[in-house]
Each structure stands twice: as structure tokens, then as C-alpha cells.
Chain A
Amino acid sequence: MGNPWIAFLVVPLVKIVVILLVVILMAAYLSYFERKILAYMQIRIGPNRVGPRGWLQPIADALKLFVKEDIIPSRAEKFVYIVAPALITAPALVVFSVIPFGADTTFFGLLKQPIPPYLTDINIGILFILGVSSVGVYGVILGGWASNNKFSLMGGLRSAAQLVSYEVPMGFSVIAVLLMAGSLSMVKFVEAQKQAGVWFIFPGIVAFFIYFVCGIAETNRNPFDLPEAESELVAGFHTEYSGMKWAFYFLAEYANMVVISSVATVLVLGGWLRPFPNVAALAFLDVIPPFIWFAAKVGFFLFCYIWFRGTFPRYRFDQLMALGWKVLLPVSLANLLVVALGVLLMGGAR
């Protein structure tokens, strides 16, 4: 690493390309796994025709979407209509720049010195994630509005209201965890959990629960999938979208699911750490590399996402608002108070 340009430009670029490719592939295969898992819960088999056991189904879907006719409704607001999918996809992908996928690693001895397997660690990591991912709502509301379709408009409006309402309890639940860690940096979260010797899910179970519920609502997934409730609004905000633009919405939805799961993993499930990181008796678990631990925890959350979708009915719009403002917000505030008191009694933030 003698040449500074390599460290400054080439390494991040390579990382960006790798992360982007992985995320996009992951989103594609998440759709495959969603279909497969849902099918298994519904005593079906699911996609199994393209490739062995249907493994190539996402690739075939992507190819199909690329060659599909791209329809722009004649009365749509063209510019906004075209920009909207990008507006939701870009933030969903940008957020991955600060998510720590693992500890510094040499990639099984491939490199001479260990490098961090994530793009960057900024000291306001969690704030950055909350801020950037909130931009995504523009993609939904503008897409719904620009389609000039009543169902789309209603989907867009529902989504806007839902996202605004659920950001608040989500933020408060994150603050509770933040008090325990004493930092905004994503890497510091994990390190704090290593120091404490326990995942934050045990002291922060309520915060975690609220965070996960809000996360499901933020990603518009069942049982909070009102913006695209198919039985009410046909397909909600993306009713009029087709081809690759439609695919962008789906890419963003799946990427957001991965983001929410990753953040939950980092905040309360100890990121890349093994269970009980300071108990020596469990040291044999260190054989499993850190990013496998990370992937496994994210995978668990994603499975829960799909499990919920397979099980629950959908909330109604006003009930969703009531749940957000009347239940989750007071509970998250009370939780914040309790956690703050606890942190104060235990000797203040580190």
C-alpha cells in the first residue's frame, strides 16, 4: 500500500463496486427467498422451473424486466414520474456505505494487513442512516402523485403519513440504544457491546421491539403495507409503473429491508460479534468469521419479515396512525426515560 492513491481511491472504489453488486444481487435473491419461504408456509413449492430448484429465477425476472415495455401514462407528470424510482433507490443504496459488515479482516490471508470490510465509519453513522433513508419517502409520494392515478395518489399519501409518524418512535428507540453505547458511530456500537460483554438486546428489548415494528412500517411491509395494499389500492404508488422503473421500486424495498435488518443487528444484536463475546467458554464460536455472524443475524431478521408477511392481516390506515402515535410513541418515550435513568445509575455513558 505504498502508493497513497491506492488507499485513497482504488480501495474505496473496489469496495463500492463490491457492495453495490452484493446489495443488488441480495435484493434479487431476497425476492427469490421471499417467494420460496412464503410458498413453503402456504404448502406450495414456489419457483422451481428456472435453473435447479429455481435458483436462476431472479436473473430471469431481471432480464424480463429489462426487455419489458416501459409505459409512461400519457397524463403522467413525465419528469417526476421518471425521477421518482431513482429517488427511492439511491438513498437505499447509499445507506450501505456506513453499515459495518464485519471486523477488520485480511480476507483469509489474501491481504497483508487487515482492512475494514465496510466502506467508511463516520462518527454520525446512525444519524446518517436515519437521515438518508428518510429521503426515500420522496420517491414514494412523488411517484404516487406523478402517476396521475387515484389509487397511486392515495398510496403515496398513505406512505408519507406513515413514514412521518413512524420516524418519531423509531428515532426515540434508537436514542435509547445510543445512550447505552455513548456514540453515534456504527462501529462504536459494536465495540461498546463487546466492552459491555452483552448484546444490547437484553437491556434494550423494548427499544428493539419498537425499532423493529417501526422498521417494518418504514419499509411498507406487511402488516403495515398500506401504501401498496393490493386488495385496496391495486398496487398503491407503483400501480402505473412497469419494466425497470417498477423493478427499482422493488430493489429499493428489498434494499431497505436489508438496511433495517442490518441496523437492528448492529444496534442490539452485537453486529458481527458472536453471542456473549466475553465468555471464554464460547470461544470455539470464533471459528465462524465475523461477517458470517453478521449475515446470519441479518438473515434471521429478513426471515421474520417474510414470516410476518405470511401470517398477519393488514392494519387499516387510521389504526396504523393510532398505533404509531398512541402506543409506540409513549412507550418509546417511557423506555427512553427508563434507559436514561439506568445509564445514569450505572455511571453515565462511556
Chain B
Amino acid sequence: MGNLEATRPFPDSEEMEISFGPQHPATHGVLRVMVRVDGEKIVDAKPIIGYLHRGTEKIFERETYNGTIPHTDRMDYTAAATNNQALVGAVERMMGVTVPPRAAYIRMILAELQRIASHTIWLGTHALDIGAQTPFFYTFQERETILDLYEEYCGARLTLNCMRVGGQPFDLPEGWTGRCGAFVDQLPARIAEWERLLTNNRIWKLRTIGVGVISAANAIEWGLTGPPLRGSGVKWDIRKVFPYDRYDEVDFEIPIGANGDTYDRYLVRMEEMRQSVRIIKQCLAKLPDGPVMAKVPKVIKPPKGEFYFSVEGPKGELGFYAVSDGTTNPYRLHVRPACFINLQALPELVRGHLIADMVAVIGTLDIVLGEIDR
């Protein structure tokens, strides 16, 4: 027995400390959470990040402006198009370049497709965390179609590198709009299928209703953005508040929740996918003709100054704060990552819940460690 006691770290303590991750199936990558538990109840949780740190912001400083775009692909690797959109948006506004309308519409289509793709990943992994394996495969099948569309457009499936300062590098290929339209036409039926699996399911409801509740005031104070904020009932969407590209020309709604729990965030994201379908349909109908690239110099040299520009990414507000010293390389490119700021609220959301709830909350925050650690 003496041997046994020696192996117990806290012989007298009833609390147990568990290192949840960085190699744990439910932490979406390499997040590590130090959890103090009393039985199964969480007393405190502390996220520890940095296992995927690659120094992206420092790398930005030695790149040309167009050279930074492939690096942004690797931040939130499930939503490369919106990352590109935020970066090129910031640089274009610094230079005072207006994107041709066709390029803006293409950007919107790409970004909304990306939102759907990101949300399908989220739904699959979130359901997997809560124990339902099968939605994962159904959602990935739809995502595969989106990736095929991307591959046709820009040649890559995941790390797209599909936008440039001043417009789009390519025009849409032959027949692309038709295939894209066919995809978005059949998507609502697929979403209804996923909802049939989960929305009314009593186990799903038990696991998500009342879990990870955050009030609207609290969510604003924590700086949450995206679905975690809208799930609490705050109508805040960068696409509506500070319209970029041509979002003011399309008609869509911002879905909001009421209780700020995991179930509401789930419903918000499901509705967002439908709204994205709506936006894409309008964009495809309105798609103007014309060039896709504005007149920009071959060497991009924004004037001295600084600019903050943000887009509504699938995870929340993704912003780039660019500082230019008038040379070809950015002096500083700071990222306002959505996942990093949403993750902050994790200890607040899980305190007093059970371990199983923490997995659900990590899933509902929809974090991507590539963006958190950069």
C-alpha cells in the first residue's frame, strides 16, 4: 500500500487536476486545458495555448503584401477564404483601391461558401464530441462539394490563396456558377436532414440546453463575436454593421438566439448556413460582368499609415490591423482572431459543469487552434 500512496499526487485532496490535452480527441487540435475537478464537477479550467505557434505575425513582416496571403490561409485553416478577405480588405482600404464589382461578388460567394464549409466542420465535430458519430460524415460530404468548387476556381481545396490586393486573381471558370447554384439549391434539404438527426433528439437537447450559458451583457464584456455572441441574443454582424464588399446590396437576416446556451448557438449556426445559401443565390443572380482586377501597381506599396479592417468570419469577427511604413513589406500586421477571444470565455462557461459539458462547450465555441496560436 505504501507504494500506492506514493503514486498519488495529492493524498489528502479531494480535488483532482487533469491535463485535458494537448493530445485529446475532443480539444480540436492542440488545445490544452488544465482542469481542476471535484469528482466530475469542474472547479476551474485554464486553457493553455501555444502548441501550434508558428510566429505568423512576425512572418508577415518579411513578406510582400501579396506574399502574406498564403500565410493567412494557415491561420484558420477551415476558413481560408474569409482570412484572405480580411487581409486584402485591410490593404485595399489603406491604398484606397476599389474592387471591381464582379470581384466583390466573387469574394462574397467564396466567403459564404467558406462559412458553410466551416459550419459543416463545426457541426460534424461538435456532434462527434457529444457522441453522435454519423453527422460528421454527412456534413463532410457536403463540404467536399464546396472544396471541389474551390478547386475548380483557384486550384486548391483548403489553403486557397484565392484573393489578391485589388481584386481576384482569376475569373470564374466555365460552368462554375451553374455547379455552385446546383449545390446551394440542394443544400437546404441536407441541412434539414442533419436537423432531423439532432434538433429534436432528446439526448441532444439534454446535452446542449442550459450548457455553457452566457448572458448578452457578459458576452459583450468578454468581447465574444460571431455565433457565440449572437446565440446570446445580440444582433451584431459585421456584414450588416459595417458592410464590406457588396453586402449592402444583398438581402439576408442575422439569426439570433435567446438563452445563450449551446443549443441556441447550434440553432444560430444552422440558420446562418441557410442565410449563406440565400446570399449565394442572390450573388449568383446579380453577378455583374467586367474585370475582376482593379488597376493596382505591380509592386504594392501602401502609403504610410495604419488601418483596421474586419470581416465577419465563420467563427466571429476576424480583423487585420495593418501598419505600413510606406515600403513593400508591412511594418506590422496584427490579427484580431475570433477564436482566441472566444476561447477566453471557456473557464467562465464551464465552471460548475461536468467534464462532459466542457467538451460540448469547446465544441460550441468552434475554435481552431491555427488561429488561436498563429
Give chain A's interface residues, CB within 8 Å of chain B.
38, 41-44, 75, 77, 148, 150-151, 154, 222-223, 225-226, 229-234, 309-319
Contact = CB atoms under 8 A, between A and B. Distances in A.
Given A316-B206, A316-B207, A150 B129 contact: no
Contacts of A41: 134
Contact of A44 (B24, B137, B201): B137
A-B pairs, 8 with minimum CB distance: A314-B131, A42-B137, A231-B26, A313-B132, A313-B131, A231-B129, A313-B130, A316-B356
Contacts of B131: 222-223, 225, 229, 231, 312-315
B34 interface: no
B52 interface: no
30 contacts: A38-B133, A42-B136, A42-B137, A43-B138, A75-B7, A77-B4, A150-B16, A223-B131, A223-B203, A226-B356, A229-B356, A231-B25, A231-B359, A232-B359, A234-B24, A310-B133, A310-B134, A311-B134, A312-B132, A312-B201, A313-B132, A313-B198, A313-B201, A313-B203, A314-B130, A314-B203, A315-B206, A316-B206, A318-B354, A319-B207
A315 B203 contact: yes
Nearest to B16: A150
B218 interface: no
Interface string B127-145: 1111111101110010000
B25 A317 contact: no
Interface in B323-361: 354-357, 359
Main secondary structure of the interface of B (DSSP, over half): helix
B40 interface: yes
Contacts of A316: 206-207, 354, 356-357
B271 to A, nearest CB: 20
B18 interface: yes
Contacts of A151: 18
Contacts of A75: 7
Contacts of B40: 154, 317
B355 A232 contact: yes
Among A38, A232, A317, A319, max chain B CB count under 10 A is at A232
B13 to A, nearest CB: 13
Contacts of B127: 313
Given A42-B137, A310-B133, A313-B132, A232 B203 contact: no
A106 B105 CA distance: 78
A230 B203 contact: no
B222 interface: no
Given A42-B136, A316-B207, 17 more contacts: A42-B134, A44-B137, A222-B131, A223-B131, A230-B25, A231-B129, A231-B131, A232-B26, A309-B133, A312-B131, A312-B201, A313-B131, A313-B132, A315-B131, A315-B207, A316-B206, A317-B354
